[in-house]
């Protein structure tokens, strides 16, 4: 159809702009651009919300609740580790008990053999002093390395590091998750003694129980201030002469070569088995009975300490089981929590996606209604002769578009 067939009002501007030849028509058609901008803004808004939901889905196992649970679990694991270390210290000590009891039994049998005339007093004296050395070696062998923070140190609950106080170490083991501890007091199961000299208060001690070998002979040494200041007076224990010893009070009198008679008080430590010379090298029944009584007391101390340590170990082992249950329970709690959180995150993601779909649908409905309104306004402006549409039916020949018009 030739261009001349159209109304003269089809100006070049009107043709290029689809008939938009007035300000009000321009304002009306701006709604299309506003719709496009609104659509883009909505898409950006929901894209950011969906991205956030996806990020939350990936990081949902790092919530404050689960992190607190994991911290609690780490605390329990740490306390359980220290509890196991305490059990290790107890085990190391308990490993020595059978040997200690065997040594005591051996000495008791040796005294019986002496009384029966099967061995000599001199032989028993040598054997006795050597057993003191072995007993102290067993006490020393109970040392166990444990970790406190980043440091390691030795813990031994049956040895004493002080030859003047015979003090022992105390073991504190975690007892529950609330921070309570089980106190395990050490029991010195080595054997030692010292003599406090009357008058001067000088300190005498023997190294018999710490000899390097069974062939070595102990020495008794005097100190004006132990262990820093020795007086220079000492003598081999085989040269000492016992004048008297009262086991119930510890009162002792003995002669030192070149020094004369020393009187003082014996203080025993641990099993308190004294050097053979204090039992007068077993040359009389009174001294033999004193040795027998000392062995009986030592045996009672070993048996009592063993029972206490076994009880402490059983307690800690039962607590380890409790800690295992708590730790496993937290594992399940964290797993359940993470699962719930992930399910919640997935639900939030799906909800956000569905909300976006619904928003798109609602926007499309609104846009469609807006487009219908705009179209009605434009057609109303183009209407001529009671509804005959002229401008809307023009062909934009300049852009090659063809519109079929039904009269």
pLDDT, tens digit, 9 for 90 and up, residues 301-314: 999 999 999 999 99
**Looking up tokens 């406190």, which residue turns up?**
148
Helices 285-382 and 23-58: crossing angle in degrees, nearest 10, is: 160
Q: Tokens in use for 114?
A: 């002496």
Q: DSSP 3-state assignment of 362? A: helix
Global pTM value: 0.67
Q: Tokens in use for 44?
A: 């950006």
Section 216-233 average pLDDT: 96
pLDDT at 79 over 60: yes
Q: Tokens in use for 239?
A: 């040269």
Neighbours of 188 (CB within 10 A): 24
Q: DSSP 3-state assignment of 88? A: helix
**How open is the CA angle 366-367-373, to the nearest 5 degrees?**
95
Q: How far out from the chain centre does Cα 175 lie?
A: 14
Q: Tokens in use for 179?
A: 């921070």
Alpha carbon distances (Å) from 314 to 84, 181, 320 = 12, 15, 10
pLDDT at 11 over 60: no
pLDDT at 109 over 70: yes
Section 230-249 average pLDDT: 97
Distance between CA atoms of residues 206 and 216, nearest Å: 13
Say what percent of the chain tops pLDDT 70: 61
Distance between CA atoms of residues 76 and 86, nearest Å: 15
186, 190, 191, 197 alpha-carbon torsion, rounded to 10°: -50
**188 within 8 A of 158, measured Cβ to Cβ:** yes
Q: DSSP 3-state assignment of 396? A: coil
Distance between CA atoms of residues 289 and 248, nearest Å: 12
Nearest to 237 by CA among 252, 250, 254, 213: 254
289, 293, 294, 300 alpha-carbon torsion, rounded to 10°: 160
pLDDT value, residue 81 = 84
Helices 285-382 and 97-115: crossing angle in degrees, nearest 10, is: 170
Q: What are phi and psi of 389, to 5 degrees?
A: -90, 130
Section 330-344 average pLDDT: 57
Q: How confident is the model at residue 178 (pLDDT cuts 50, 70, 90)?
A: confident
- In the chain, where the domains are located: 95-330
pLDDT at 32 over 90: no
pLDDT at 157 over 70: yes
**295 within 8 A of 274, measured Cβ to Cβ:** no
pLDDT in tens, 352-385: 655 655 555 555 555 555 555 555 555 555 554 4
Nearest to 360 by CA among 39, 123, 106, 138: 39
Strands (E), 156-297: 170-174, 181-185, 191-197, 203-206, 219-225, 229-236, 241-245, 251-256, 260-270
Alpha carbon distances (Å) from 61 to 52, 74, 288, 332, 342 = 15, 17, 74, 13, 8
Neighbours of 28 (CB within 10 A): 17
DSSP 392: G
């Amino acid at each position: 159809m030739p261009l001349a067939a159209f109304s003269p009002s089809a100006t070049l501007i009107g043709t290029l702009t689809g008939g938009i030849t007035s300000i009000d028509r321009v304002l009306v058609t701006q709604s299309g651009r506003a719709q496009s901008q609104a659509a883009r803004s909505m898409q950006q808004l929901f894209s950011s919300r969906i991205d956030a939901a996806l990020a939350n889905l990936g990081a949902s196992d790092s919530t404050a609740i689960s992190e607190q649970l994991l911290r609690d679990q780490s605390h329990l694991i740490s306390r359980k580790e220290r509890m196991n270390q305490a059990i290790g210290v107890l085990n190391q000590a308990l490993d020595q008990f059978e040997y200690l009891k065997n040594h005591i039994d051996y000495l008791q049998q040796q005294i019986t053999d002496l009384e029966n005339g099967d061995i000599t007093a001199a032989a028993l004296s040598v054997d006795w002093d050597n057993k003191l050395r072995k007993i102290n070696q067993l006490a020393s062998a109970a040392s166990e390395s444990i970790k406190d923070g980043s440091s390691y140190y030795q813990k031994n609950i049956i040895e004493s590091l002080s030859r003047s106080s015979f003090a022992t170490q105390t073991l504190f083991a975690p007892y529950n998750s609330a921070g309570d501890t089980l106190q395990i007091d050490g029991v010195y199961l080595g054997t030692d003694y010292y003599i406090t000299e009357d008058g001067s208060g000088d300190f005498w001690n023997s190294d018999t129980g710490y000899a390097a070998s069974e062939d070595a002979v102990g020495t008794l040494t005097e100190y004006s201030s132990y262990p820093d200041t020795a007086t220079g007076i000492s003598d081999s224990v085989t040269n000492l002469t016992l004048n008297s010893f009262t086991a119930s009070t510890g009162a002792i009198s003995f002669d030192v070569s070149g020094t004369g008679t020393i009187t003082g008080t014996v203080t025993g430590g641990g099993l308190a088995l004294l050097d053979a010379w204090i039992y007068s090298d077993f040359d009389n029944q009174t001294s033999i009975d004193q040795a027998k009584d000392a062995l009986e007391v030592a045996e009672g101390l070993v048996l009592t300490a063993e029972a206490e340590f076994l009880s402490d170990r059983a307690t800690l082992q039962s607590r380890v089981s409790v800690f295992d249950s708590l730790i496993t329970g937290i594992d399940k709690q964290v797993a359940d929590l993470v699962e719930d959180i992930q399910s919640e995150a997935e639900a939030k993601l799906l909800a956000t996606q569905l909300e976006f779909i619904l928003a798109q649908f609602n926007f499309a409905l609104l846009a469609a209604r807006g487009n219908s309104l705009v179209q009605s306004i434009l057609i109303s402006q183009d209407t001529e002769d009671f509804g005959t549409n002229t401008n809307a039916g023009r062909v934009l020949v300049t852009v090659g578009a063809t519109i079929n018009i039904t009269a």
